[in-house]
Amino acid sequence: MIVVVKKKKHYFCCCEWKWIVLCQLLLANAVCASHLGNPANDLVDIINKNRTAQKLPELNDSPGLGCMALQYVELCKGNCTSNGFVNCKPPEDDFTEVFGPNCGVELPTFGTITGHIVGCQAKYLEASLAFSHVLVKDSKALSLIRNKSHTEVGVGLVGARKGSFFWCILFSDGQTNSTFVLEDNGEGIKQKNGCFSGSTFPCSSGQRIPVFLNNFMTLVLLNIFLLQHLYQTWFVMT
């Protein structure tokens, strides 16, 4: 009877571990799926958390501004210096004549852009690192983030497989949901590369997907190893 009980006990324990592993995999899959889409939105969240920590209001996440921020770095792609400076300054007319039309921003809703921050890096960085190491490296950039006149924000990012990654933040003092409105009921023109905040489209460049897939596959392999070890232990003890 004692031997039988021990077998049942270890069998039950092993089943418990299988359920734990399965739950971990499902959780990892859910987390992975929730973050595959748009890292530009994460930057908007970080910007707003930084503002609310200073008792400033959150900024509206404007897809129109975000798309134009993406257009900005698309134009400047390939102009990254060794110290992370974007050696590119598009003419102001490009916002109304190039960036806006390429995004599908309705011209009558075009507002005032009250500031912008651009940065680049040789490799892709997660949003928190991009914020602190690329975009907000000095007090000037931080004061721009916390400017009281801003009401809207848009973030764009793009990168090449064998090149640098570029980030851009655009600010506006326009009325929420009334400026930089995208045509086609807010859908605008789908972009072929990169990501922009507020978009309903996933990140076209897939910069973040490999990061999460690598983490997910690592977790899968670790749990497979754990299962093999548990089964071996169970067979030895039974």
> In 3-state terms, the chain is what percent helix, strand and coil (to 5)?
50, 15, 35
CA distance 155 to 117: 9
Using 50, 70 and 90 to split pLDDT, how confident is the model at 37? Answer: low
The one-letter amino acid at 195: C
Which residues does 106 contact at the CB level (< 8 Å), separation at least 6?
181, 182, 183
- Euclidean distance between CA atoms 208 and 171, whole angstroms: 24
- Which is more confident, 84 or 17? 84
For residue 238, pLDDT over 50 is answered with yes
Q: What is the mean pLDDT of residues 122-140?
A: 94
Strands (E), the chain: 60-61, 113-121, 152-159, 165-172, 195-196
Predicted confidence (pLDDT) per residue in 52-93, tens digit: 999 999 999 999 999 999 999 999 988 898 888 899 999 999
> Lowest mean pLDDT: which of 7-16, 46-55, 101-110, 142-151?
7-16
- The model's confidence at residue 229, banded by pLDDT at 50, 70 and 90, is low
Question: What is d(CA 188, CA 192) in angstroms, rounded to the nearest whole number?
Answer: 13
pLDDT of 132 above 50 = yes
CB 39 within 8 A of CB 165: no
Q: At what angle do helices 2-35 and 208-237 cross, to 10 degrees?
A: 180
- Cα 35 to Cα 30: distance, rounded to the nearest angstrom: 9
The reported pLDDT for the residue numbered 234 is: 54
CA distance 40 to 70: 10
Confidence of residue 149 (pLDDT cuts 50, 70, 90): very high
> How many helices (H) and strands (E) in the chain?
8, 5
Q: What's the mean pLDDT in 30-46? A: 71
